[in-house]
Amino acid sequence: MTVAYKAVVLFDGVCNFCNSSVQFIIERDQKGYFQFASLQSEIGQKLVAEYGVPKQIESLVLIEGGQYYLKSTAALRICRKLSGFWKALSIFLIVPSLVRNIFYDFIARNRYKWFGKKTACTLPSPEIRKRFLE
């Protein structure tokens, strides 16, 4: 049975850059539109299977409107819902994903080298914790 969510962001839970990106989204998602789960979590793996997301995916996944979006498409669709200037970045959705993902993949390939990996989880406030799926 599929559970209905507004939008779920699946992220690499051990990646410092990915975790910082989640915090960035939370700070600019004033309406609380997004919920979050790490790809490594039980719920993350359940959603990957339920929506047919490729199992080898290690990057950002957005589940919205009954379908999933990957890489730069996911990032730009997330930007559409953020406050301030960030909404404007969604204009880049008109650029073919093949071109956009060249930049996305470059950052993704180097994210551990540049930003490192987490060895422990940060405990969010109870209010923020509600936005993480368990």
Going from N- to C-terminal start, the domains of the chain cover 7-129
- Give the other-Cβ count within 10 Å of 89's Cβ: 14
- Note the pLDDT of residue 14: 78
To the nearest 10°, report the CA torsion of 128, 108, 79, 19: 10
From the first residue on, what is the mean pLDDT of each consecutive set of 10 residues in the chain (134 residues)?
A: 72 83 93 92 93 86 95 96 94 96 88 74 66 74
- Note the pLDDT of residue 90: 94
Contacts of 72 (CB under 8 A, 6+ apart): 92, 97, 100, 101, 103, 104
Instruction: Look at the block and give the residue holding tokens 């993902």.
Output: 101
- Note the pLDDT of residue 81: 95
- Note the pLDDT of residue 119: 61
- Note the pLDDT of residue 20: 85
- Note the pLDDT of residue 25: 95
- CA–CA gap between residue 131 and residue 111 (Å, rounded): 24
The SS3 assignment for 68 reads strand
* Structure token pair of residue 107: 């950052």
- CA–CA gap between residue 26 and residue 110 (Å, rounded): 24
Which letter does DSSP use for residue 89 in this model? G
- Note the pLDDT of residue 1: 40
Read off the pTM: 0.84
